Amino acid sequence: MALKSTVFKFQLQIADLDRHYYADHALTLARHPSETDERLVARVLAFARIAGEGIDMSSALCEPDEPDLCVRTLDGRITHWIDVGQPEARRVLKAAGRADRVTLHPYGGSTSTLWWEGVRKELLRVRKLEVIAFPEAAVKALAASVARTCQWQITVQDGTMMVSTGTDCVSVEPDTWRPIAH
């Protein structure tokens, strides 16, 4: 018998002072049995970083040709492809062919650093690629507080995300490994 996904509900109050974006979001996320709480948290953080019109949480674990998150136009075209974790270079190159912009969010500390060193040379030619790592310690701290229902208040200022979970306040300072080329 196959294991079923676990449903998590996140109520996010986002105040992004950098982008002047202020909104509440109700996310219902299915965590695949192979997905960790850390990856679930990284998906939520990626959502909060770019929350706005047209953002979509897809089911990349079940649909391998889909991004973890994306921004779509009204006609369904992907303008911003966002993957969480350590995707293969071939997947990133394919994403660059389908979207105007590609963002990767590794979150695994030293394993992510080793992954980036292994794929960096091949991916440097992708001008529309940015790589922004979430710090492992912050992701683990937030993962420890994950419950089936979460209410998070996220304030973004100068690139730093302050995430209040109701019991803790965790500072998430994303590290830009590769800015998007202009």
pLDDT tens digits for range 129-154: 999 999 999 999 999 999 999 999 99
User: Looking at the domain assignment, is residue 15 inside a domain?
Assistant: no
User: Looking at the domain assignment, is residue 42 inside a domain?
Assistant: yes
Residues 93-112: tens digit of each pLDDT: 999 999 999 999 999 999 99
- Looking at the structure of the chain, the number of domains it has is 1
The answer, yes or no, to whether residue 25 has pLDDT greater than 50, is yes
- Cβ neighbours, 10 Å, residue 124: 11
**Domain range for 110:** 35-178
User: Looking at the domain assignment, is residue 70 inside a domain?
Assistant: yes
The pLDDT value given to residue 127 = 94
Q: What is the CATH number of the domain that holds 74?
A: 3.10.640.10
Cα–Cα distance between 32 and 61 in angstroms, integer? Answer: 7
